[in-house]
Amino acid sequence: MTVSTPALDTLDLGDPNTFAEHDLGPFWRTLRDTAPVYWNPPAEGRRGFWVLSRYDDIMATYRDNVNFTSERGNVLVTLLGGGDAGAGRMLAVTDGHRHHELRKILQRVLSPRVLNAVAATVRANTRQWIREAVEAGSCDFAEQIASRIPMTTISNLLGVPEQDREFLLSLTKTALSTDDEDVDEVDSEMARNEILMYFMDIVEERRESPGDDVISMLVGSSIDGVPLSDEDVVLNCYSLIIGGDETSRLTMIDCVRTLAARPDEWRRLKNGEVKTDTAVDEVLRWASPTMHFGRTVVRETELHGVRLRPDDIVTLWHASGNRDERTFDRPEVFDLGRTPNKHMAFGYGPHFCVGSYLAKVEIAELLMALRDFTTGFEQTEEPQPIRSNFLTGFSTMPVRFLPDHSGLKEVD
């Protein structure tokens, strides 16, 4: 994996290869210090866009629903493509009253109180799969564990049949985070369309025969007395399957890679010197799997002396904000005991990730299972980085486990 540092004026944040081929740490530091509102010029037929790299500026923009909108897309692939087909219907790209009402519907099934039973299943599955991997001695953690935990959880919530989950996992990877250089934007767009078509079939089934899953709940929901349409339901299923799988999976993979390389931090976790929830927040800050979200300017505004005009695209980079020295003490250090830790891995403001509680449960259970069943683990091969301008992480993670025999003897 190449880790060169490109020159400021040659780097294109719209190109997925940029993130797979370069170490952008120095680039982000330069932007934070010298160009906090940076113009990424047009390239290869793509529009130019503004880049925000400082924590405070990103948070302020997330809070600002007057000058910025999500309804013209919230990631580069749709912002640069001219808009999002789900605008006004899918939670992530809907603003105002409808966003508020749609969020209330989804929070009914994604709140901590409702998800207690789901959390118990996450725990049982995670501990079973980690135990089996440790007893086997080694595995590709990305494929055999990290790919299974979130996809199983979100599929159970949505009522996706078990036989379809591998198929959906392959589609979500192609849609946003492929490791295959031969997969282009056409392939990604086809994968996104296949996900939508898959859920359209399930929605039709639920209208005929409702169950107790999230899709059935959405089918039976309405806003201001108007039932959600099939398209409304399908678009939000798409958002849930992408959000519920990709970010948790990539965070888990990064977590294992990072802990394997930092035995001192691993020992703090193993010995109970740090709280699990504190460790989870640092894992999320460090991984920052969702590198950016975006907004479109709707009213002329100014930031750091730069005039932002209507229709300008503004991108908010968590990858930089979560390393901002102005907010975090020694941000370059992975510290499982870090507190306070106001990371922005889940965004902020009205669009704060509706599935954040579930993601934290999944990562916490992973950490506890590793703590209980292993004395350590090591990476045995270099992992394969994904190619994306939206998500960051790895698609493979071969590891060898050192078993904790006393922990393995315990009955969960």
Q: Share the mean pLDDT of the chain.
A: 93
pLDDT digits (tens, 9 = 90+) for 346-360: 999 999 999 999 999
**Dist. CA 53–CA 262, nearest whole Å:** 27
Average pLDDT over residues 145-158: 93
Q: What is the pLDDT of residue 2?
A: 45
Answer yes or no: are the C-beta atoms of 341 and 229 closer than 8 Å. no
Whether 299 has a pLDDT exceeding 60, the answer reads yes
Q: How far apart are the first and last CA of the chain?
A: 40
pLDDT digits (tens, 9 = 90+) for 32-58: 999 999 999 999 889 999 999 999 999
Answer yes or no: are the C-beta atoms of 127 and 121 closer than 8 Å. no
Pairing verdict, β 49-52 and 306-308:
unpaired
Whether 183 has a pLDDT exceeding 70, the answer reads no
Domain ranges of the chain: 8-409
Measured from the Cβ of residue 369, the count of other Cβ atoms closer than 10 Å reads 24
Instruction: Count Cα neighbours of 328 within 13 Å in the Cβ-side half-sphere.
Output: 24
Backbone angles phi, psi at 298, to 5 degrees: -110, -25
Distance of CA 86 to the CA centre of its chain: 19
CA angle, residues 347, 237, 58, in degrees to nearest 5: 10
Q: How confident is the model at residue 242 (pLDDT cuts 50, 70, 90)?
A: confident
Whether 97 has a pLDDT exceeding 80, the answer reads yes
Whether 193 has a pLDDT exceeding 80, the answer reads yes
User: Domain 8-409 belongs to what architecture?
Assistant: Orthogonal Bundle (1.10)
Average pLDDT over residues 122-131: 97
Q: Which residues pair with 394 in a beta bridge?
A: 385
Answer yes or no: are the C-beta atoms of 406 and 149 closer than 8 Å. no
- 191's tokens: 């994968």
Whether 23 has a pLDDT exceeding 50, the answer reads yes
- 276's tokens: 């699990």
Whether 29 has a pLDDT exceeding 80, the answer reads yes
Alpha-helical runs (H) found in 322-381: 356-373
- 318's tokens: 């968590």
Can you say whether the dihedral through the CA atoms of 64, 70, 75, 80 is positive or negative? negative
Q: Which residues pair with 313 in a beta bridge?
A: 296
Q: What is the pLDDT of residue 389?
A: 93
pLDDT digits (tens, 9 = 90+) for 323-348: 999 999 999 999 999 999 999 999 99
Whether 169 has a pLDDT exceeding 90, the answer reads no
Q: Which residues pair with 51 in a beta bridge?
A: 38, 315
Q: What is the pLDDT of residue 215?
A: 94
Whether 1 has a pLDDT exceeding 50, the answer reads no
Q: What is the pLDDT of residue 79?
A: 95
Q: What is the pLDDT of residue 181?
A: 61
Which DSSP letter does residue 333 get? S
pLDDT digits (tens, 9 = 90+) for 360-387: 999 999 999 999 999 999 999 999 999 8
Q: What is the pLDDT of residue 243?
A: 85
103-112, 183-192, 257-266, 352-361: lowest mean pLDDT where? 183-192
Would you call the peptide bond into 340 cis, given omega within 30 degrees of 0 as the criterion? yes
141-145, 182-186, 368-372: lowest mean pLDDT where? 182-186
Whether 280 has a pLDDT exceeding 70, the answer reads yes
Tokens 């891995």, residue? 345
- 157's tokens: 């919530």
237: helix, coil or strand?
helix
Q: What is the pLDDT of residue 171?
A: 87
Which DSSP letter does residue 51 get? E
**pLDDT top residue among 377 and 212:** 377
